[in-house]
A and B are shown apart, each in its own frame.
Chain A
Amino acid sequence: GAGVSQTPSNKVTEKGKYVELRCDPISGHTALYWYRQSLGQGPEFLIYFQGTGAADDSGLPNDRFFAVRPEGSVSTLKIQRTERGDSAVYLCASSLSGRGTGELFFGEGSRLTVL
């Protein structure tokens, strides 16, 4: 499809395990964002890529969270030693140029449940 694709749509894991969430942005979009949405809250910014590089990772909560975008397209959000508090919907969005002025196109999210 032409939209932002996120996999898996649902992930259930046990406390302490490692998790990877994948985002496939719209072709040609140079900017890619990761957000986290907890129940009853708005999307919380995690990290923003411009091309291959992380332009702003100020929202990553701690060093258990890491994201990569090695070829400037697909991105993977990696969570080590998961905790129950990591349970949330992880949203990916892409944008043609970034810069905070353009439209973000969101995927449907990956729902992570840590037991």
Chain B
Amino acid sequence: AQSVTQLGSHVSVSEGALVLLRCNYSSSVPPYLFWYVQYPNQGLQLLLKYTSAATLVKGINGFEAEFKKSETSFHLTKPSAHMSDAAEYFCAVNEDDKIIFGKGTRLHILP
């Protein structure tokens, strides 16, 4: 079965600092990988997805993620955090026709 592991249920960064949210996947076949974000009182929305076209994937709001097969990782980064980035972030992988989510990482932005 496919799965993703997100390291750190809570991450705090200062405004303007680098954001790094970690995700490792387990998959027996080449995966499709996703990052979703859930802002307070809103539904989940897609940040970016990897579908094997390019290992560095750019998403919305300045986020990007790099697929590293050798490390089975798909970490999410943003060079400079904004207060508006405070949210919960979920890494996900496909298993057949469904999407399996990690437990999430709540990102806190410190002023």
A contact set with B: CB distance below 8 Å: 3-4, 31, 33, 35, 40-45, 48, 50, 55-56, 59, 91, 93, 98-101, 103-109
A41 near B94 with CB under 8 A, answer no
| Distance, CA A91 to CA B101, complexed state (A) | 13
B51 near A101 with CB under 8 A, answer yes
- Residues from chain B with Cβ under 8 Å of A108 in the complex: 41-43
- Residues from chain A with Cβ under 8 Å of B51 in the complex: 101
B43 near A91 with CB under 8 A, answer yes
A107 near B43 with CB under 8 A, answer yes
A interface SS class: loop
| Distance, CA A53 to CA B49, complexed state (A) | 27
Interface pairs (13), CB distance under 8 Å = A4-B43, A35-B101, A40-B9, A41-B103, A44-B101, A45-B98, A56-B98, A100-B94, A100-B99, A101-B32, A106-B44, A106-B45, A108-B41
| Distance, CA A93 to CA B46, complexed state (A) | 12
The chain B residue sitting closest to A103, CB to CB, is: B46
Neighbour of B97 across the interface among A44, A55, A109, CB < 8 A: A55
- Residues from chain B with Cβ under 8 Å of A3 in the complex: 43
B49 near A100 with CB under 8 A, answer no
A31 → B minimal CB distance (Å) = 8
